[in-house]
Structure 1
Amino acid sequence: MDAAVELLDEAGEPALTFRALAARLGGGVGSIYWYVSNKDELLNLATDHVIAAVLEDTADLAAETDADPLDNVRTLALSLFTTVAERPWLAAYFMRNTTIQANGLVFYERLGEQMMRLQLSPRKTFHAVSAVLGYVIGVAADLGQEPPKEVVDGEVAAADYLHGIADQWRALDRDEYPFMHYIVDEFDGHEDIDQFRAGLELLLDGIRIEAEAAP
């Protein structure tokens, strides 16, 4: 699993072949089939292997029954976000097969147990957990994409590239693009992690309002 994750981290899903994994391990392709039947199973197992570290990092939350449950949800969300942002390939496989991904199922349960403490209905609890997971995975996958080639090659600094996009937006017609002009100064020079945290807080605030309004 460590070798499979290394290949995925280096070049994404296309890099993980049985031949490449066997070469990395110094064995034959046939030996891989002794443990896994196909690439899908291997991807699910590699994903679950990574999520094990997220569970380890958040293991203490289960004992913190006096803590604000949404504080615990925030901690879980940030831990998962950091992991997926560092490994964009993970987004496509997280909880894709919970029969194989036992750790993914435990993470889902851990997040759900914190939401249950808010005393929302089963439907709203399910929707709240789904909203948080969807936000975390979606934003992490988006922010984890390969930077533009000129940034990767070192021709342009990331901040300068962002500033260039902001200048393009400033050049747009203000009457046709009032929103772009309204937020462009916030966009210019923003930090991705700050953007993620702000969106997460808006989401958690909405869940708290729902919980406080519940009978």
Structure 2
Amino acid sequence: MVGHALGQPVTDASPHETIRALALSLFDTIDAHPWVGSALTRSPLQMPVVRILERLGQQVRAMGVAEAGQFAAVSALLSYIVGVSVQNAANAQMGRALGGDREAILAEAAQAWSALDADAFPFVRSIAAQFPAHDDRADFLAGIDLILRGLSSRV
């Protein structure tokens, strides 16, 4: 599964584009097959993770990240990709167990969040209205972009 998600290296894309595509492919693979995320987290030293590290590392290197920072950069990307993908897959499984109407489930949570104490939870209350219709894939890619911008600013 991971080999399929990694696909063939793309030679005409920028490192940012390649990392985004790789991250989204892994996100979609783990969403469709949650066991893949579990396998990756249970076997972090095995070849599936090594293949991901290699693909990410090649792109981080191509971005011009200093050698001393490459391991930390790739570790941050890998942790974000796997962690968020596994959490998203778990949320989807929970949603199916609760009846499968994602927007209704999130709307109910948003309503509860809107009723929280305004002084104790000002941020959560401020995002409650956006929560029911948010796009998990777009939010995931926004996180990847934040990491990539941070790496680019240090090159």
The SS at the match of 2:98 is helix
Give the alignment of 1:6-155 within 5 angstroms.
50-55=1-6, 57=7, 59-61=8-10, 63-64=11-12, 67-94=13-40, 96-98=44-46, 101=47, 103-145=48-90, 146-148=93-95, 149-152=97-100
What TM-score comes out, normalization by structure 2 length?
0.86
How many Å apart are 1:186 and its aligned residue? 2.0
Aligned partners of 2:147 and 2:116: how far apart in 1? 31
The SS at the match of 2:130 is helix
Aligned partners of 2:68 and 2:141: how far apart in 1? 25
In the alignment, structure 1 residue 163 sits paired with structure 2 residue 107: yes
The SS at the match of 1:174 is coil
The SS at the match of 1:93 is helix
The Cα offsets for residues 180-210 of structure 1, whole Å up to 9 and x where unpaired, read as 1121122232121122122121111111111
The Cα offsets for residues 106-135 of structure 1, whole Å up to 9 and x where unpaired, read as 332122111111222223111111111111
How much is the aligned-residue C-alpha RMSD, in angstroms? 1.7
Higher relative contact order (CA 8 A, sep 6+): 2
Aligned partners of 2:24 and 2:98: how far apart in 1? 29
Q: Which residues of structure 2 form unaligned runs of 5+? A: none
The SS at the match of 1:185 is coil
Aligned partners of 1:184 and 1:116: how far apart in 2? 39
The Cα offsets for residues 31-66 of structure 1, whole Å up to 9 and x where unpaired, read as xxxxxxxxxxxxxxxxxxx112123x3x142x33xx
Letter in 1 for 2:78: L
Bigger shift: residues 180-189 or 109-118? 180-189
The Cα offsets for residues 56-90 of structure 1, whole Å up to 9 and x where unpaired, read as x3x142x33xx321111111111111112222222
Identity %: 31
Please say which structure displays the higher CA radius of gyration.
Answer: 1
In the alignment, structure 1 residue 190 sits paired with structure 2 residue 141: no
